[in-house]
A and B are shown apart, each in its own frame.
Chain A
Amino acid sequence: MRNRKREKEEHLERLWGMKEGEQEAVEYLEDSMKGDFDAQLVEELAEDGMVALSEGNRKIVLTESGEKEARRIIRAHRIAERLLHDVLGGEFETGACEFEHTVTSELVDSICILLGHPRTCPHGMAIPEGECCRRSERTTRNMVIPLTEAELNQSARIAYINCRDDMLLHRLDDLQVRPGIKVKLHQRYPCFVIECEGASIALDEDIVATICVWSQGPPVDRPKLELSPKEKKPRPWWSKGLMAGRKRHGKI
């Protein structure tokens, strides 16, 4: 028999997604869960006070406590995606799906701090804020820091851009300011100037602050996705870099 807790979590996770897409139909949930949909389980969730059913069991929404639980799972999932995508590159979906069911909130927060409190997952969906984000916690040295704090004239690879404004992201993308690209901070005063792919760009401090870079050189060159996807590169960083980080910070 499959793990009941885990299946409940999958349902809650899907319901969170429906909330983001403003969907409430049970039928929709059934569709999008495909074979994994379990009517009995939905009833159990309702009994647990996690979901509320209405309109003759045709509409389903998360209750407050359900939302809290779903939020925790989504956060774990998306943070995991961020970690696997930024650090390891390549396929991250399966790993994240496993991860979300096994980690504690504390561990998720630690990873979140390590990554500099990312706000979106690699698909561009919002990562729910954790306690650590609200406190803006810092380890002594984050792996990922905003470009505003990077050293002048040092090449740094962009980890991600902490920005939910699609238009702005597109504009930056057009200028090749995007994850994976190396940038250099030229000056902070009187105006921020960065160098990216051979061009110098002057921009507002607010925007530079959303650009997050690896603080000490990128972990590894990301595997080229257009190579055959099976061809795995050795990942020396995972053992080296993170272990080094572990020693330095005492914990991750």
Chain B
Amino acid sequence: MLINQLMNMPTGSPQIKKVMLVGLPNTGKSQVYNNLTGDYSVVANSPLTTLETKRARCRLAEQSYEVIDSPGLHSLYNPSEEELTVRDLILSEEIDILVQCMDACRLKQSLTLTAHLLTLGIPMVISLNSMDEIARKGISIDPVALSRLLGVQVVASVAVQGQGTEELKEAISRVEAGGPEIIPCGEKIEGWLAELGSKLPVEAPYKRAISLLVLLDDPLILDYVNKMYGPAAVNDLQQQVKLIKGNLRFNIGQVINQQRSRWLDRVAEEVTHRTKPQSHGFAQEFARLSRHPVFGIPILLVFLYSMFYVVVNVANVISEWMSDVLWMPVEAKISGLIPLGFWHDFLIGDYGILSMGLANALMTVLPILSVFFLVFNIIEDIGYLPNLSVLTKRLLGKLGLSGSAIIPLVLGFGCKTVATLSTKTLKSKKEKYIAVYLIAFAIPCAAQMGLNMSILGRIGLSAFVIVFSVLFVVEILVGMALNKILTKQGQGLVFIQELTAIRLPNLKGVLKKTYYRIYWFLKESLPVFLGAALALFVIDKLGVLTATKRLLNPLIEGFLGLPSAMTDAIILCLVRHEAAAGVMINLVKKGQLDYIQCIVAVTVTTMVVPCFANIMAMAKEVGGKQTLVMIILIVMSSFAIGGALRWTLVALL
């Protein structure tokens, strides 16, 4: 009996169906993923947000599903590096259901991908997102007609608000096995596809898609065929292609493209209706101004200044208040209870686990980061950052960076680790090296930016302007130097970058993202803050810290002109920049850092060493040896620049 039951159990885990989310970059895949699974994948109004696939389980109507979130995909043909991972995943994972996320505002572009996906023959559902935005533009899209024309279920939704989630879940659970209809390519080409398909093993899946890619001379599909079915199949296919193409009087790729274009023009025309005349919305006008060579710069400065203003006038005030009301009384109480000595120092001394660890993290850094992240997430949600790439294009060209390196650099202002990982899209080795170096060096990540603003805001706006001008100039000079030194290896990519549409921020999404950023900060950093305080306490008690300070004294005090207490902050930079910032804020409060010292201190700590996660990402992208070389160079040059800055300021002021 038992054996019978076992025999009847199909192999693998068939109870769990695999649902993969695919779509063009920035079409709300991660948002839909979050809506479906209740898990959280970072959502931003920017391409290259999701770099790795993410998976989670969910249960709909008595059926378990594994939902896979994937990076953006334009087409199955000739994928870029990050698109290739998606294609490989689709071809190798036995996906049961594809959910294509479409941006209603980019219907035709999305339909191109649909045409590619339909060749796979995997059951599909379409989640048609941004229905609110398209309505605002005065265009209506008829999901029912679209569904009829494509032969797949189409769910209209506004993913950021969670609208359409229930309908999508229902649609997924309704999907039956068996592929959607195909778009015929014409008798002749269909014949060739069948001929090519017959060269693959009978049981091979996705024959049509693979044959089409082979026919189009996709540079990597034969590798896949080789891996799956061996060199004999590759040989057969190549022979067959030669036979077909020998007699050809046209470029197959272009003819197939033309057919697809006609198909999607027809589909788009049938499903879209203009409800009111096209008008230039405020958002579009704003996007245009933000890219304008003249108006773009003031807009950038306004964004920077408003962040600064909010950090200084809101975050710092909250932080002061928390420190005064929540921490001071506690400290006083402990001070009264425990006499001076070991335990006093352990809890609330210079390196006390409560003072330097807990209070630093929760009372000083946390409120500043919360407020800053809120502002930063709003700006990110507006979609402003990718538009910056237009303004910086020419400047970056001078640094030996082609246009495709722009988005990774801009992403660096969010998280340097993510930015470093996204340099994998760069094909030229030289470009990648320069981009990784520049990201690691003088670009402050969002957390650093917020805390730097908080520190410098206590001294004055001019300090902030000086520090950021210096960082900017340093970055440019380093880029130019690297461009000169490094020899060109590999071809730079042509630059074609879709810009994100500007939209009003979605408050719920922004709050949720801020919540997660703070949650991750606490989860990752709180133990680090406590551990670092403990470590410093131990080496202080052992006398090692004093010895180190004495050793570094000529550098810190002599060359940089900083108080020796700044050594703690620089050591903490090795562990976590936020912890160092907390220490510096306390030094400023106690009046131990003056105007020049503060500028030098912030400049040096911003550059000195990237955080641990960033270093790991660097090692992944350029290798361990190169990472080590970069870090040594970065550390040395940041001290050199700090010193030079100090002497310049002393001479000038």
Contacts and interface: CB of A to CB of B under 8 A. Distances in A.
Contact of B499 (A120, A123, A180, A200): A200
Contacts of B288: 186-187
Interface stretch (A59-67, A96-104, A131-139, A169-177): A169-177
Given A187-B292, A201-B496, A124 B109 contact: no
B201 interface: no
Nearest to B255: A123
A123 B257 contact: no
Given A124-B254, A170-B253, A202 B262 contact: no
Contacts of B113: 174
A69 B105 CA distance: 51
Contacts of A198: 105-107, 137
B620 interface: no
B250 A125 contact: yes
Interface in B319-340: none
Interface stretch (A41-49, A50-58, A188-196, A241-249): A188-196
Interface in B53-80: 74-75, 77-78
Given A32-B247, A166-B251, A199-B106, A207 B494 contact: yes
Contact of A202 (B255, B499, B501): B499
Bin chain B's interface residue count. Answer: 35 or more
B257 A170 contact: yes
Contacts of A172: 496
Contact of A21 (B248, B254, B257): B248
B246 A21 contact: yes
B109 A197 contact: yes
B357 to A, nearest CB: 46
A202 B548 CA distance: 51
B498 A173 contact: no
A190 B245 contact: no
A203 interface: yes
Contacts, number: 131
* A interface, over-half SS: mixed
A23 B105 CA distance: 48
Nearest to A189: B293
Interface string A209-252: 00000000000000011100000000000000000000000000
Interface stretch (B1-9, B365-373, B385-393, B444-452): B385-393
A39 interface: no
A206 B261 contact: no
B274 interface: no
A203 B78 contact: no
Interface in B260-316: 261-262, 265-266, 287-288, 291-293
Contacts of B250: 123-125
Contacts of B501: 199-200
A17 interface: yes
From A23, A32, A180, A186, residue with most partner B Cβ within 10 Å: A186
A17 B249 contact: yes
B249 A171 contact: no
Nearest to B269: A224
A124 B106 contact: no
Interface string B228-264: 0000000000000000011111110111010001100
A193 B499 contact: yes
A167 interface: yes
A176 B108 contact: yes
A172 B112 CA distance: 11
Given A174-B112, A190-B391, A190-B393, A123 B251 contact: yes
B82 interface: no
A178 interface: yes
Contacts of B247: 21, 32
Nearest to B78: A167
B224 interface: no
B163 interface: no
B105 A173 contact: no
B266 A226 contact: yes
A197 B108 contact: yes
Given A21-B248, A23-B246, A169-B253, A187 B291 contact: yes
Contacts of B251: 120, 123-125, 166
Contacts of A225: 262
Nearest to A168: B494
B642 interface: no
Contacts of B78: 167, 170-171
A225 B258 CA distance: 11
A166 B217 contact: yes
B626 interface: no
A206 B492 CA distance: 14
Contacts of B245: 21
Interface string A112-133: 0000000010011100000000
B174 interface: no
B497 interface: yes
B646 to A, nearest CB: 34
A111 to B, nearest CB: 21
Nearest to A203: B496
Contacts of B246: 21, 23
Give me the 7 closest cross-chain CB pairs, A-B, nearest first. A124-B251, A123-B250, A124-B254, A191-B393, A200-B499, A190-B394, A204-B495
25 contacts: A21-B247, A21-B248, A123-B251, A125-B249, A125-B251, A169-B254, A171-B496, A173-B112, A175-B498, A176-B108, A180-B261, A187-B291, A187-B390, A190-B394, A190-B395, A191-B393, A197-B109, A198-B137, A201-B496, A202-B390, A202-B393, A203-B403, A206-B494, A207-B494, A225-B262
Interface of B: 74-75, 77-78, 105-109, 112-113, 137, 216-217, 245-251, 253-255, 257, 261-262, 265-266, 287-288, 291-293, 389-395, 403, 494-499, 501
Given A172-B496, A197-B106, 17 more contacts: A123-B255, A124-B250, A168-B494, A170-B77, A170-B253, A170-B257, A171-B496, A173-B261, A174-B109, A180-B265, A189-B394, A190-B394, A191-B390, A200-B287, A201-B498, A202-B497, A204-B496
